[in-house]
Copies of this chain bind each other. A is one copy, B any other.
Amino acid sequence: MITLSHAKKLFSTSSGAITALDDVTLTVERGQIFGIIGYSGAGKSTLIRLLNGLERPDSGSVIVGDLDLSVASEAQLARARPKIGMIFQHFNLLWSRTVAGNIAFALEIAGVDKSAIPARVAELIRLVGLEGRGGAYPSQLSGGQKQRVGIARALANRPDVLLCDEATSALDPETTDSILDLLLSINRRFNLTIVLITHEMHVVRRICDVVAVMEAGRIVEQGTVAELQANAKQPVTRRFLRQLTEDAEAQELDEGFDPYAVDIGSGALVRLVASGAGARDLVLADVARRFNLSLDIVHGHLSFTREGASGELYVEVPAKGQELVEVLAWLAERDIAAEIVRRG
């Protein structure tokens, strides 16, 4: 669907030229959701702007569908564009039109029958959760609401290709998820090809088939999320992936867990916080063997790496009195802080 080969783009500034894109080659298959990540200023927006001809490469070619955008005439581009939706980083709404008017605008350009517009607009407004605000002007909207108008506008003409430049960066997780679900379902149903710039790895993980990592105008790594997770070679990729793990490592308690609602019989509910090398071995198994107790993990979370385990667990220890004290002491020796939450 999309093929970039050896695309190069320079911007000349007073302090010399800036290489925004440096020999970028990539292919996006029809129906693929293609993610682009990279540091600020890496060239992501420039890259995506090549894909609808807003920017032309200084050299190299950009083929979308069967049109080479790098040499297409402005008229050819205009014909192709209604089928290439774009969500802008800065929304770019017309202040002079209402929410409904902004969405209708895309339909008008595409030459949609006038009588069909209102129904389609209403549908799109519902889709992005702006019911009741159709008559509001952009100046009366919050940041996220503006972004959703931009999304609705980009989807209005049921495009074949959708270009998203940080399309969900101004949205809360709930709205982000509903938009991503929407994109996924359109992708599945209509075989929509999506190219998506984002800074949020969970967006990538959630919907991208392939992700390209950009740095200083180049694509330095590319693959499925799983591939990258297994084999990331570039520090920049690892840095992005860490976004996923960090949250995990620091996670403490799941929502809705109430230590006072646990039935612990005559034993105790113990909170263990593990960190560091001592916790590396499977200490709980050792406790079980050594004290001949059947420990039961009620709730919690652990991560294991070669450096050791870290995390927090609520464990039901079927012991009391002196025995319980001994278990805790034994754990403490192994870098595990134990605290009795409740006794049975």
On A, residues with C-beta under 8 Å from B are: 11, 13-15, 18, 37-42, 44-45, 89-90, 132, 135-136, 140-145, 147-148, 165-166, 169-176, 199-202, 205, 226, 229-230, 232, 236, 238-248, 250-257, 281-282, 284-289, 294-306, 309, 313-314
A236: B residues at CB distance < 8 A: 174
B40 touches A145 (CB 8 A): yes
Contact indicator B313/A239 (Cβ below 8 Å) = no
Least distance between A336 CB and chain B CB atoms (Å):
14
Q: Beyond A143-B166, A295-B285, is A232–B257 a contact (Cβ under 8 Å)?
A: no
Q: How far is the CA of A38 from the CA of B170 in the complex (A)?
A: 12
Q: Are A170 and B166 in contact (CB under 8 A)?
A: yes
- A148 contacts across to B, CB distance below 8 A: 40
Q: Which residues of B contact A171 (CB under 8 A)?
A: 40, 199
Q: Is the CB of A172 within 8 A of B199?
A: yes
> DSSP majority for the A interface?
mixed
Sample 27 A-B pairs with CB under 8 A, ordered by A number: A11-B140, A39-B172, A40-B148, A40-B171, A40-B172, A40-B175, A41-B142, A45-B143, A90-B90, A166-B170, A172-B240, A173-B240, A174-B236, A174-B239, A205-B250, A230-B253, A244-B247, A244-B251, A248-B251, A281-B294, A281-B297, A284-B285, A288-B289, A298-B306, A301-B302, A301-B304, A302-B302
Name which of A230, A301, A309 has the most chain B CB atoms within 10 A of its CB. Answer: A301
Contact assessment for B175 and A39 in the assembled complex, using a CB-CB cutoff below 8 Å? yes
User: A184: shortest Cβ distance to chain B, in Å?
Assistant: 15
Beta-carbon contact of B140 and A13 below 8 Å: yes
CB contact under 8 A between A45 and B142, given known A242-B255, A306-B298 = yes
Given the complex, which residues of B lie within 8 Å of A300, measured CB to CB? Answer: 303-304
- Min CB distance, A28 to chain B, in Å? 21
CA distance A165 to B287 in the complex (A): 50
Contact B296 A281 (CB under 8 A): yes
Q: What is the distance, in angstroms, from A128's C-beta to the closest C-beta of chain B?
A: 10
How far is A144 from B205 in the complex, measured between Cα atoms in Å?
Answer: 22
Pair B248/A14 contact, Cβ less than 8 Å: no
Whether B282 and A295, one on each chain, are in contact in the complex, defined by CB atoms closer than 8 angstroms, is: yes
List the 8 closest A-B pairs by CB distance, nearest first: A40-B144, A248-B248, A285-B288, A285-B285, A247-B247, A169-B169, A173-B243, A41-B142
Q: Which residue of B lies closest to A316 (CB)?
A: B282
Report yes or no: A299 in contact with B306, Cβ–Cβ below 8 A. Answer: yes
Chain B residues, CB < 8 A from A250? 205, 244
B305 contacts A282, C-beta separation under 8 Å: no
| B90, B176, B202: the one within 8 Å of A143 (CB) | B90
Docked pose: A145 CA to B305 CA in angstroms:
35
Which single residue of chain B is at the shortest CB-CB distance from A37?
A: B172
